[in-house]
Amino acid sequence: MISAFACGNGRLDRLADTGSIDALRHAIWIDLRSAGPDEIDRVQQATGLNIPSEADLSEIESSSRLSTRNGTLYLSMPMVQMDDDGPRGVAGGFVLSPDRLITIRFAPSQLFDTYTDHLPRGSASASCSADIFVGLLEAIVDRQADVLEKVRADLDTISHAIFAMGVKQEGGRKGEDATLRRTLGQLGHIGDLISHVRDTQVGAARIVPYVEATAADWLPKALAPRLVTLRQDIASVSDFDTHLNDKLQFMLDATLGFINIAQNNVMKVMAIASVVGIPPVLIAGIYGMNFKNMPEYDWAWGYQWGWGLIILTTLIPLAVFRWRKWI
């Protein structure tokens, strides 16, 4: 799919006709979303620029993600796509020249759709491809910051639920096991999201100084303060991401600790039951032997004597465990 925008009279307007090569030649921003071979070929003919493939944009080497060819910048960074199954990383690319910006993506993005609905209009900077590019990076960083703020709120909620189990015992062992299992799933989901956000922030942190250094000759001076602010925002978001990752690890350790405590409690109950049950079983086994010369068989109170020994040997270990505060 192709979305194109042209500048006229200081305004950025969406081009209705993207099937014409002549129309695309007037576009200042061309957005390619899961474009087919015909669409890519049409854009290349209209702009004279090479469109990298998904495999090219997925390269992890810095030299592959940041390069310059004939004065045009080819940039790529991993982005986050939210699916029903959770977050996943998708490749995103930018082809930036003094007079045109091409964005390449391979999944729907609410961020891009929202940005196109709030494009700057009525200003000279709106006609600059670099201005649109910087605006996109700002929107990406703002979006990542919003995601991390929600992650912090989710971690606070999980933290309250987890540590409340150490105070309140509600729902029984089965309810506690279900809560711990659900919490591990939530923490895994959050961990994936934090990891993907981190990848995006690292990519943005590499792109900004590269653009400043490489495009210094034609980059508008008015963008310099915005790029400085953008670098600071990326650094602060990255620091916050590190903080959340540390908190996530703490929550994961705490959850696993509660799981270990629950398992130890089960083993303790089984151990106590086995220790308490040994003496009564031994006594019942002794008096269950069918020998004729056992004097207790002739006692008038032999049956009560056996029961008394069984009960006594059951209570004594329980009393010892209670006295030692093991139960």
User: Which residue is associated with the tokens 């910051």?
Assistant: 145
pLDDT number for residue 130? 85
How is 91-123 classified by DSSP, letter by letter?
EEEEEEETTEEEEEESS--HHHHHHHHT---SS
Decide if pLDDT at 165 tops 70.
Answer: no
Residue-level pLDDT at 229? 92
What domains are there in the chain, each with its CATH number? Answer: 2-262 (3.30.460.20), 264-323 (1.20.58)
Task: Report pLDDT digits (tens) over 11-55.
Answer: 677 777 777 777 777 788 888 887 888 888 888 888 888 888 888
Query: Which tokens hold the place of 13?
Result: 């307007």
315 pLDDT more than 70 = yes
How far apart CA 177 and CA 145 sit, in angstroms, is 33
How far is the C-alpha of 55 from the C-alpha of 196, rounded, in Å?
18
Residue 285 one-letter amino acid: G
Residue whose tokens read 């989710």: 154
pTM: 0.75
Determine contact, residues 192/86, Cβ cutoff 8 Å. yes
| Average pLDDT rounded to a whole number, residues 62-70 | 81
Q: Is the pLDDT of residue 125 over 70?
A: no
- 46-61 pLDDT, tens digit each: 888 888 888 887 877 7
Q: Does the pLDDT of residue 237 top 80, yes or no? A: yes
Euclidean distance between CA atoms 207 and 197, whole angstroms: 15
* Identity at 187, one-letter amino acid code: L
| Average confidence score pLDDT of the chain | 81
Q: Which two tokens stand for residue 63?
A: 């030299």
Which of 152-161, 194-203, 258-267 comes out lowest in average pLDDT?
258-267
Cross-sheet strand order for the sheet of 100-105 = 11-14, 2-8, 27-33, 100-105, 86-97, 72-83, 66-69
Rounded distance, CA 41 to CA 37, Å?
A: 6
Q: Mean pLDDT throughout 201-220?
A: 88
Helix (H) or strand (E) holding 157: helix 129-164
Please give the Cα distance from 29 to 102 (Å, whole number).
Answer: 6
Q: What does the pLDDT look like over 90-103, one tens digit per residue? A: 888 889 888 888 88
Quick check: helix, strand or coil at residue 32? strand
- Position with higher pLDDT, 267 vs 124: 267
pLDDT of residue 34: 79
- Chain centroid to CA 309: 61
Average pLDDT score over residue span 93-114:
83
